């Protein structure tokens, strides 16, 4: 016998009051993984990874996947659980992550999520907006135009039909302009509805069965850039070039259109030298980190800490919130 709607609402509200998702955000190479493990050990809970590149089992070195000791130190989910040959969207991740959290909250009312992919963090915390159904013929026309004219067609069309959203992408995540699937979707909505894509954003009220506690890590720019440069050198020493070489025949796949892989594909195509490619990885990773900071600094109710802050101080902040 189903519960009355009023009682169900009360139960959902009670559940939300008692479930907490500690969410660790910040730029790449700032120390999010190390902090997440310490917190998971303290609160005796699991870790949900929302790094959109660490999902893929073929991309281990270039995505800074936690090492074996780190993976053994706490239970991780969504680490190298997909193949680059699979179509896996942020919407797919949202559904799978929420299902996993539902099960984890049955065991422990505190769980941890960590990652530098702002869109994926937002998907779990806030969900996605709803868009009208689009006539399939619109998609077919867009695909035809894309095949003939390439990404430029998608970029120019979005700029014309939704200049506001175009400017948002340019400021916060310009790499999106190089993602055909996402660009097609933006254009499809604009053409199929006759309205800007941005007009549908922020209209849907999303309810979650947990309260987020958001912990942000930051550092002075010079320190952050130095950590990034060191990480790239470590990746190269650990065999990043060999990893990229093994993926060369799949270089057209969307999952591989990312920093650390594109630059070395150019080297393998003899477009650049290896030292130049390495410096490009460092430069593009630094640019990526700036975009991450811009994205995450918009996050409401985030508690920001210097990356060297003792973990005890962060734990005390969390405990005050849940007490």
Instruction: Please enumerate, by residue number, every residue annotated as part of a binding site.
Output: 26-33
Name the binding residues for substrate. 28-33
117: tokens are 């992919």
What is the three-state SS of the chain?
CCCCHHHHHHHHHHHHHHCEEEEEECCCCCCHHHHHHHHHHHHCCCEEECCCCCCECCCCCCCCCCCHHHHHHCCEECCCCECCCCCCCHHHHHHHHHHHHHHHHHHCCEEEEECCCHHHHHHHHCCCCCCCCCCHHHHHHHHHHHHHHCHHHHHHHHHHHCHHHHHHHHHHCHHHHHCHHHHHHHHHHHHHHCCCHHHHCCCCCCCCCCEEEEEEEECCHHHHHHHHHHHHHHHHHCCHHHHHHHCHHHCCCHHHCCCCCHHHHHHHCCCCCHHHHHHHHHHHHHHHHHHHHHHHCCCCCEEEEECCCCHHHHHHHHHHHHC
Cα–Cα distance list, 196 to 36, 134, 193 (Å): 39, 14, 8
CB-hemisphere CA count at 13 Å for 12?
Answer: 10
Question: How long is the chain?
Answer: 323
d(CA 75, CA 159) in angstroms, rounded, equals 44
d(CA 99, CA 95) in angstroms, rounded, equals 6
Name the binding residues for ATP. 26-33
């Amino acid at each position: 016998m189903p519960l009355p709607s009023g009682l169900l609402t009360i139960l959902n509200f009670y559940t939300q009051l008692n479930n907490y998702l500690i969410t660790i955000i910040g730029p790449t190479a700032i120390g999010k993984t190390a902090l997440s493990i310490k917190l998971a050990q303290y609160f005796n809970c699991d870790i949900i990874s929302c790094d959109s590149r660490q999902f893929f089992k073929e991309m281990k070195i270039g995505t800074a996947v936690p090492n074996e000791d780190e993976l053994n130190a706490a239970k991780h989910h969504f680490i190298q659980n997909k193949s680059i040959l699979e179509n896996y969207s942020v919407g797919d991740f949202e559904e799978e992550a929420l299902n996993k959290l539902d099960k984890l909250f049955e065991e422990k009312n505190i769980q941890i999520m960590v990652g530098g992919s702002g869109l994926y963090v937002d998907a779990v915390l806030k969900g996605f907006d709803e868009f009208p159904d689009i006539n399939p013929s619109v998609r077919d026309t867009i695909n035809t135009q894309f095949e003939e004219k390439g990404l430029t067609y998608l970029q120019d069309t979005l700029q014309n039909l939704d200049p506001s959203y175009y400017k948002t992408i340019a400021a916060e995540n310009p790499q999106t302009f190089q993602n055909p699937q996402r660009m097609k979707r933006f254009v499809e909505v604009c053409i199929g509805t006759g309205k800007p894509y941005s007009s549908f954003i922020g209209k849907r009220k999303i309810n979650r069965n947990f309260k987020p506690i958001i912990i942000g890590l930051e550092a002075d720019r010079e320190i952050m850039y130095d950590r990034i440069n060191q990480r790239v050198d470590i990746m190269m020493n650990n065999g990043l070039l060999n990893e990229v070489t093994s993926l060369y025949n799949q270089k057209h796949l969307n999952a591989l259109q990312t920093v650390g892989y594109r630059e070395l594909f150019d080297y393998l195509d003899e477009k650049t030298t290896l030292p130049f490619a390495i410096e490009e990885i460092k430069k593009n990773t630094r640019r990526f980190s700036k975009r991450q900071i811009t994205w995450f600094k918009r996050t409401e109710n985030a508690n920001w800490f210097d990356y060297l802050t003792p973990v005890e101080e962060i734990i005390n902040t969390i405990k005050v919130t849940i007490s």
